[in-house]
């Protein structure tokens, strides 16, 4: 684990560049909702150790830098609920992110076995050989969100064209207000089978069209900062 932590830190240092204004736009967007007395759930999706093998290194360094800034900014805020969404059997959340997530007074783990976090209907362990920890959400995610009286959800994680997008669609279907900053999502999946079927440009166009269609269908989807690096390959 120590070696992995060193590797993670080296990626951030070597590849990080000045974070674009998008993270400030996202923070401002969330702060506006908090100022209105609303609570906000930030779903941190699938940023796990077994998925890191499929990340483009330079993209990952940029994205994790912005994610950590977002998490640190809202640590300890009473009306912000940081929900660490894990895909079953894909390892723990990346160590630096998990350390910051757990500083939030409303931190919770949610484990899913499908791409969309809203499609898991029961409590499941992160892996079959592990017990369910005390800070894990029991039952359905939608029921937990209702229990904390939030209608505002912000999504960040991997992969932009797969689990993040499918979770967004289901959240919107369930009546939540959803915000997405695509600059804070992992785009490229190096292990995607679709890499053999489409060019990067075709993937970018398809992915953007999917988000645009969702936004047309659901006006309560807020795209905080459309991504400026829309050239990567996704699922």
pLDDT in tens, 166-212: 999 999 999 999 999 999 999 989 888 777 788 878 888 899 999 99
Average pLDDT of the residues in 56-72: 96
Residue 64 domain-assigned?
yes
Quote the mean pLDDT of the chain: 88
CATH value at residue 157 = 3.40.50.850
Cβ neighbours of residue 161 under 8 Å, at least 6 residues apart? 187, 203, 206, 207, 210, 234, 235
pLDDT band for position 86 (cuts 50, 70, 90): very high
Mean pLDDT of the region 88-116 = 97
Rounded to the nearest 10 degrees, how much is the dihedral formed by the CA atoms of 85, 216, 192, 124? 20
Q: What is the dihedral of CA 180, 55, 48, 165, to 10 degrees?
A: 30
Tell me whether residue 228 is in a domain.
no
pTM over the 0.75 mark: yes
> What range does the domain containing 92 cover?
2-223
Domain-embedded: residue 105: yes
Q: What is the DSSP string of 171-182?
A: HHHTT-EEEEEE
Question: How many domains, in total, are found in the chain?
Answer: 1
Kindly state whether residue 174 falls inside one of the protein's structural domains: yes
Q: How deeply is 87 buried, as exposed, middle or buried, from its count of CB atoms within 10 A (0-12, 13-18, 19+)?
A: buried
Q: How is 100-151 classified by DSSP, letter by letter?
A: HHTTSTT-EEEEESSSSGGG--S---SSTTSPPPTTBPPS-HHHHHHHTT--
């Amino acid at each position: 684990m120590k070696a992995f932590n060193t590797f993670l830190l080296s990626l951030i240092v070597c590849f990080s560049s000045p974070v674009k204004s998008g993270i400030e736009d996202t923070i401002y967007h969330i702060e506006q909702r908090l100022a209105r007395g609303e609570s906000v759930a930030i779903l941190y999706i699938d940023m796990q150790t077994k998925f890191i093998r499929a990340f483009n290194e330079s993209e990952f360094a940029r994205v994790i830098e912005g994610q950590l800034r977002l998490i640190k900014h809202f640590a300890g805020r009473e009306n912000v609920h940081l929900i660490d969404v894990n895909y079953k059997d894909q390892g723990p959340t990346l160590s630096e992110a998990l350390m910051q997530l757990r500083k939030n007074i409303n931190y919770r783990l949610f484990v899913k076995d499908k791409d969309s976090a809203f499609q898991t209907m029961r409590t499941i362990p992160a892996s079959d050989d592990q017990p369910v920890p005390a800070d894990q959400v029991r039952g359905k995610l939608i029921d937990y969100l209702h229990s904390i009286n939030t209608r505002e959800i912000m999504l960040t994680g991997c992969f932009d064209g797969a689990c993040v997008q499918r979770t967004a669609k289901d959240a919107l279907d369930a009546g939540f207000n959803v915000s997405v900053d695509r600059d804070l999502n992992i785009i490229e999946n190096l292990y995607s089978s679709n890499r053999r079927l489409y060019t990067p440009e075709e993937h970018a166009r398809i992915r953007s069209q999917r988000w645009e269609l969702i936004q047309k269908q659901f006006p309560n989807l807020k795209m905080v900062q459309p991504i400026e690096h829309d050239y990567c390959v996704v699922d």
